[in-house]
């Protein structure tokens, strides 16, 4: 657990990185040096012990012949190695000393020797001659040749001052290496920390610019590590913010346009209704014209209601407050009804509605909503077609029912096609003042209703030749 004092410390990220790199390298070097010294000392002691055991075996192999032992003693003394021979009771046999010395060995070690085991140890106690120094001792048992019974043991001792001196030299060399490595580690840590902090600062500066409203920033990255991945996600975030900002601006512009159009649409009928009401109030309208005035007010009122209903309908559809009642509908029945209801409007538009053979074609849909879809598409076709044709055709397919509505109107551009499903969008604003003008919600409602049915709608258009809407309604699911 990190202490609270450390968590509250304000330490710049550069120093955090620097200290982190430096701490790792120093800890690694310290552990390495400690391991090397420990391993070197252990290896040197093992080598000394093995050398002493080989000398002890040479002594035993000479059958403890005094002459040979003297020779070996002289050779070993030159190498600062002392050796002694003891009998089974622990009394010294060789060399002859003025004092009757006994081996400084415990009963458990005697038992080990009797069983034929070797013993080695390092001690700081006085050697057999009373000299206080760190010494390596080895004990090697020997046995009688005739009956193989335990006869005593040979002990050899050698000071390990040379080992200590080697370790001191090794420590000195390693310490120098540690200092050099620390300096290099500090320099490398500074370089790495500066590099990492530079990358973080680049992100911080870019984020600050984004916070000020600049959404065109894109940072380079190579996807090598987490900072690069963060940079990639930052770029995606900026792009998403840019798209959101563009969409908000677009919606605001369309919203303003819609409010202007809605105000204009409402002002005309309201002005008409208000004028007629004032005329009736002051009795300036002849008796023969009063009925006509009332009919005109009703017509303008319906126009206002239609505008309000379109907006409410769109919001209800978008908020999933519309419940569909789907069943198999004969398409010819619903198209005949629409043709009859829109006969006068189509006639006034100077267009011809052509309905191809729809017999035996059924659509699995909500009756009222399907009718609304077709009416909106036909009105849209009338708006952009003059003295032309509006065709309705359909066919049953393996996937479901395909319905096509095409016209011979002015068509729309590729840019306009990308936006026709947007709320408030008008492909040709100059046509909104005709009696077939719309609020920009018709096609948006069509798309929402088609998706609500689980269907698909596509549109193709060619300037000067017309536009074709194609819908694919899925079949009724099997229970």
Question: 414 pLDDT exceeds 80?
Answer: yes
User: Where exactly does CATH 3.30.565.10 map onto the chain?
Assistant: 322-474
Q: In what order do the strands lie in the sheet with 92-94?
A: 92-94, 82-87, 150-159, 135-143, 119-123
Output b/e per residue, 451-476; b: 16+ Cβ within 10 A.
Answer: ebbebebebebeeeebbbbebebeee
The SS3 of residue 330 is strand
Q: Does the structure show a pLDDT above 90 at 363? A: yes
The Cα 475–Cα 26 span in angstroms is 73
Give the pair of three-digit tokens for residue 460: 């193709």
What percent of the chain lies above the pLDDT cut of 90? 12
pLDDT at 38 over 90: no
pLDDT tens per residue, range 76-107: 877 778 888 888 877 888 887 666 666 777 88
What pLDDT is recorded for position 470?
A: 95
Give the H or E element holding residue 459.
strand 456-462
Q: Are strands 326-330 and 135-143 parallel, antiparallel or unpaired?
A: unpaired
Does the pLDDT value for residue 430 go beyond 60?
no
Query: What pLDDT was estimated at residue 5?
Result: 52
Closest residue by Cα to residue 69 from 81, 54, 84: 84
Residue pair 345/382 in contact (Cβ under 8 Å)? The answer is yes
Say which residues have a Cβ less than 8 Å from residue 149's Cβ, sequence separation at least 6.
143
Whether residue 472 is predicted with pLDDT greater than 90 in this model: the reply is yes
- pLDDT, one tens digit per residue, over 41-84 is 788 788 888 888 888 888 777 767 777 777 878 888 777 788 88
Lowest mean pLDDT, pick from 143-157, 326-340, 434-448? 434-448
Q: How far is 199 from 13, CA to CA, in rounded Å?
A: 12
Asked whether the predicted pLDDT for residue 433 surpasses 50, the reply is: no
- φ and ψ at residue 393, rounded to 5 degrees: -140, 160
The topology (CATH level 3) of 215-320 is: Helix Hairpins (1.10.287)
pLDDT bin (cut points 50, 70, 90) of residue 284 is: confident
**CATH tag for 15-165 (out of 1.20.1560.10, 3.40.30.10, 3.30.70.3400, 3.30.450.20):** 3.30.450.20
151-165, 231-245, 254-268, 398-412: least confidently modelled range: 254-268
- pLDDT tens-digit profile of 177-201? 777 877 777 777 777 777 777 877 8
Q: What is the DSSP code (8-state) at residue 477?
A: P
Q: Which of 42, 121, 48 is nearest to 79 (CA)?
A: 48
Mean pLDDT (the chain) is: 79
Cα dihedral value 51, 55, 60, 63, nearest 10? 160
Proportion of the chain above pLDDT 70, given as a percent? 85
- With a CB cutoff of 8 Å and minimum separation 6, the contacts of 197 are 13, 14, 17
Kindly state the average pLDDT of the residues 217-223: 79
Looking at the structure, give the CATH architecture of the domain made up of residues 322-474: 2-Layer Sandwich (3.30)
User: Quick one: average pLDDT of 292-311?
Assistant: 80
**Every domain range in the chain assigned CATH 3.30.450.20:** 15-165
pTM, two decimals, is 0.47
Angle 271-272-277 from CA coordinates, rounded to 5°: 100
Identify the H or E element spanning 82. strand 82-87
pLDDT at 163: 66
Output the pLDDT for position 432. 42
User: Phi, psi (5° rounding) for residue 105?
Assistant: -140, 145
Supply the pLDDT for residue 471: 94
């Amino acid at each position: 657990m990190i202490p609270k004092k450390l968590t509250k410390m304000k330490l710049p990220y550069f120093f955090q990185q620097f200290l982190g790199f430096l701490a790792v390298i120093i800890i690694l070097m310290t552990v390495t040096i400690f391991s090397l010294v420990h391993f070197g000392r252990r290896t040197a002691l093992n080598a000394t012990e093995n050398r002493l055991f080989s000398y002890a075996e040479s002594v035993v192999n000479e059958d403890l012949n005094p002459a040979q032992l003297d020779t070996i003693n002289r050779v070993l003394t030159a190498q600062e190695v002392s050796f002694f021979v003891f009998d089974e009771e622990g009394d010294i046999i060789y060399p002859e000393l003025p004092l009757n010395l006994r081996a400084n060995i415990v009963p458990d070690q005697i038992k080990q020797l009797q069983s034929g085991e070797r013993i080695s140890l390092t001690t700081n106690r006085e050697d057999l001659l009373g000299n206080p120094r760190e010494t390596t001792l080895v004990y090697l048992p020997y046995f009688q040749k005739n009956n193989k019974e335990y006869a005593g043991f040979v002990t050899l001792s050698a000071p390990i001052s040379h080992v200590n001196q080697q370790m001191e030299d090794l420590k000195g060399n390693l310490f120098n290496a540690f200092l050099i490595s620390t300096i290099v580690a500090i320099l490398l840590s500074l370089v790495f920390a500066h590099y990492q902090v530079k990358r973080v600062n680049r992100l911080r500066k870019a984020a600050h610019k984004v916070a000020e409203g600049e959404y065109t920033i894109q940072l380079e990255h190579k996807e090598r590590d987490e900072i690069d991945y963060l940079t990639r996600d930052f770029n995606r975030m900026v792009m998403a913010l840019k798209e959101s900002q563009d969409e908000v601006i677009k919606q605001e512009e369309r919203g303003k346009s819609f409010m202007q159009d809605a105000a204009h649409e409402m002002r005309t009928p309201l002005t008409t209704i208000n004028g007629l009401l004032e005329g009736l109030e002051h009795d300036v309208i002849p008796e023969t014209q009063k009925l006509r005035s009332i009919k005109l007010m009703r017509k303008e009122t319906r126009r206002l209601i239609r505008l309000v209903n379109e907006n409410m309908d769109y919001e209800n559809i978008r908020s999933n407050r519309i419940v569909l009642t789907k069943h198999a509908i004969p398409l010819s029945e619903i198209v005949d009804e629409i043709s009859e209801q829109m006969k006068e409007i189509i006639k006034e538009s100077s267009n011809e509605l052509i309905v191809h053979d729809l017999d035996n074609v059924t659509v699995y849909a909500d009756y009222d909503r399907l009718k609304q879809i077709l009416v909106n598409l036909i009105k849209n076709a009338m708006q952009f077609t003059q003295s032309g044709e509006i065709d309705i055709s359909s066919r049953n397919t393996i996937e479901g029912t395909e319905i096509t509505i095409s016209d011979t109107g002015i068509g729309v551009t590729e840019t306009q096609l990308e936006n026709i499903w947007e709320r408030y969008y008008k492909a040709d604003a100059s046509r909104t003042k005709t009696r077939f003008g719309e609020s920009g919600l018709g096609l948006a409602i069509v798309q929402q209703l088609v998706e609500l049915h689980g269907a698909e709608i596509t549109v193709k258009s060619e300037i000067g030749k017309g536009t074709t809407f194609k819908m694919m309604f899925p079949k009724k699911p099997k229970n």
